[in-house]
Chain A
Amino acid sequence: MSDGNGKRLTVSDKVMIEMKAVNKWFGDFHVLKDIDLTVQEGERIVIAGPSGSGKSTLIRCINHLEPHDEGSIVIDGIELTEDLKRIDEVRREVGMVFQQFNLFPHMTVLENCTLAPLWVRKMPEKDARDLAMRFLERVRIPEQASKYPGQLSGGQQQRVAIARALCMNPKVMLFDEPTSALDPEMIKEVLDVMVELAEEGMTMLCVTHEMGFAREVANRVVFMDGGEIIEEAPPQEFFSAPKNARTKEFLAQILAH
């Protein structure tokens, strides 16, 4: 299964996400500048860069939480426009995990997971519960199913958030700094789940500062600064032989300690 990079998984030829000349402004602030990014099915992309570089905005454009102003974004053959039907269609296929977990505090863990299957997929209640329990077992917290999010630790909450997204059986998973709000001792339990997900062949885009995760899992690291993609390379190349000066500076800072 191993290829030259030591990666266990192969990537298919099918294009999953295609962003072309995407531009976005927040008022006068040009937050995304001519972004071109193509992601094949099964690819694991880590997006790195200093804060304010537009990496979160970039992945939030992929499920249209942020509308883009120019350019085209095509996900699994569906182009994102202002057409609400298409946006909903894309969102059904794209799961997202947030920095702040964003679990629904008034629902139990199980209800958090069954909400979308019940309302969006119109799944019968029993099927939705079975499905949710399957994914809660996969993230190793089935015993917390009847608790409320407020009763769980941060790491457990983030694993529930991953299970909740997986219950929609997405083709792509977006992670927006999934470990940044966690205490250090909880980061590993979340990363472990993400690594497993990658090993199962999930297409993933992950904004993170966890360079260890990038080295181990990613097959491409995308470095952003000032709203632009500065450099794209496989992790080995990215970490050992960065080409751009800004990339070098960033790596020097982040790997210094």
Chain B
Amino acid sequence: MGMEDITGRPAPRSKRLTPLVWAQRNLFSSVSNTILTLVSAYLLWLTIPPVLDFTIFSAVWTGTTREACLAPGAGMCWPFIWANIDQFIYGRYPPEEIWRVNLTFALGAAVIIPMLIPGLPARRLNLVFLLIVYPLVAIVLLAGDRPGLRPVPTSEWGGLLVTLVVAVTGIVASLPLGVLLALGRRSNMPAIRMLCIIFIEFWRGVPLITVLFMASVMLPLFLPEGVNPDNLLRVLVGVALFSSAYMAEVIRGGLQAIPPGQYEAARALGLTYWQAMGQVVLPQALRHVIPGIVNTFIGLFKDTTLVLIVGIFDLLGQVRAQLSDPNWTMPQGALTGYIFAALVFWAFCFGMSRYSTFMERRLDTTRER
């Protein structure tokens, strides 16, 4: 599309178009385009104003009870969010112990953020902290069961806390596991290759809900009496294995994009298999599949909402639970709760997406810099 002169080439672009000319060229250049433009405009006019009205113009921002939101035509009810924010973040975690969750969040940020900033020193140490020290500290802090810390059973955890615990565990476990599975699937050793293929195809072939049910309901039946791992722990293991199978296939795609000459050159220099993989092949392969990896992370982050089905209340589950509170029965309650949950999920996912774009640009060595 676009204007062409008699030479058949696109006409040179004028420096600045008046809005009218721009609209004529881009929106009304032909009959079908005019129709499309008008239909789109009509659809936007139908949807956008009510959404803006509900979320912004008619939204109730202040107040402490549901009465504030009962005025006719009132939009999104923020008092409902403010009144329940503790439940949304911590679930039924004992209020006087909430500082432990906050401390865990703060420590998590302190370990993860430096990892994300390229060029900082001591990355290896940082990685050890993130993968080994932090999870242990987090378990002790959150679950307690140490002198001086009151035990808090995981059945009392909930809200954003559970969402983050499940998502971060899944993300942190799936990357290394996925790498190992992907390498195993390309291994020369038939036994290892076979095992990896079976593992990947098994976990990819079952729905996550089935995995969660199996972990939560069926597994205890198979385990010997007395052995009864925590429900949340079982779900975490299920999610980690499930997502690592997906991750393995994403990473395998990256590995296949690396010419065999790279591996050969590394081996010819005397590097061992693991050195060649770690220094030469994987850094390139992972770089190729950053979009796919982040895609899997985002999918995993949103799939955490499925833990609701086995009686664990993540952020979305907690929102639903608070909606049934008779103190907050109101017409716009459900919409308010779901929009809030969507906003929180969107913020996390969009953050991951932006970060991956940033890393892709940064790691692109084919670009002149």
User: Residues of A with Cβ closer than 8 Å to B?
Assistant: 63, 65, 88, 91-92, 94-96, 98, 100, 102-106, 115-116, 119-120, 148, 150-151, 161, 164-165, 168
Contact = CB atoms under 8 A, between A and B. Distances in A.
A114 to B, nearest CB: 11
A106 B270 CA distance: 19
Contacts of B259: 100, 102
Closest 8 CB pairs of A and B: A102-B265, A116-B269, A102-B261, A120-B270, A96-B268, A92-B270, A148-B365, A91-B270
B267 interface: yes
14 contacts: A63-B268, A88-B272, A94-B268, A96-B265, A100-B259, A104-B265, A104-B266, A104-B280, A105-B284, A115-B269, A115-B271, A115-B280, A116-B269, A116-B270
Interface centre among B269, B279, B284 (most CB of A within 10 A): B269
Nearest to B269: A116
B302 interface: no
A49 B280 CA distance: 33
Interface centre among A102, A120, A165 (most CB of B within 10 A): A102
Given A98-B264, A106-B284, A151 B368 contact: yes
Interface string B107-140: 0000000000000000000000000000000000
Contacts of A148: 365-366
B183 to A, nearest CB: 17
Given A102-B262, A106-B365, A91 B268 contact: yes
Nearest to B365: A148
Contacts of B264: 65, 98, 102
B270 A98 contact: no
B287 interface: yes
Contacts of A95: 268-269
Nearest to B280: A104
Contacts of B269: 91, 95, 115-116, 120, 164-165, 168
Interface centre among B264, B265, B279 (most CB of A within 10 A): B265
Interface of B: 259, 261-262, 264-272, 275, 279-280, 283-284, 287, 363, 365-366, 368
B284 to A, nearest CB: 5
Contacts of B287: 106
B360 to A, nearest CB: 13
B366 A150 contact: yes
A216 B156 CA distance: 82
Given A102-B265, A106-B363, A150-B366, 14 more contacts: A65-B264, A96-B268, A98-B265, A100-B261, A102-B259, A103-B265, A104-B280, A105-B284, A106-B365, A119-B271, A120-B271, A148-B365, A150-B365, A164-B269
Nearest to A164: B269
A165 B265 CA distance: 9
Contacts of A103: 265
A98 B261 contact: yes
Nearest to B366: A150
A182 to B, nearest CB: 16
Contacts of A94: 268
B190 to A, nearest CB: 16
Contacts of A151: 368
Nearest to B368: A151
Contacts of A98: 261, 264-265
Interface centre among B261, B268, B272 (most CB of A within 10 A): B268
Contacts of A92: 270
Nearest to A93: B270
Nearest to B281: A104
A203 B21 CA distance: 73
Interface centre among A100, A106, A151 (most CB of B within 10 A): A106
Contacts of B280: 104, 115
Nearest to A96: B268
Given A104-B280, A106-B287, A65 B365 contact: no
Contacts of A168: 269-270
A105 B365 contact: yes
Nearest to A91: B270
A105 B259 CA distance: 11
Nearest to A92: B270
Contacts of B261: 98, 100, 102
Contacts of A65: 264, 267-268
Contacts of A119: 271, 275, 279
Nearest to B273: A84
A103 B262 CA distance: 7
A178 to B, nearest CB: 13
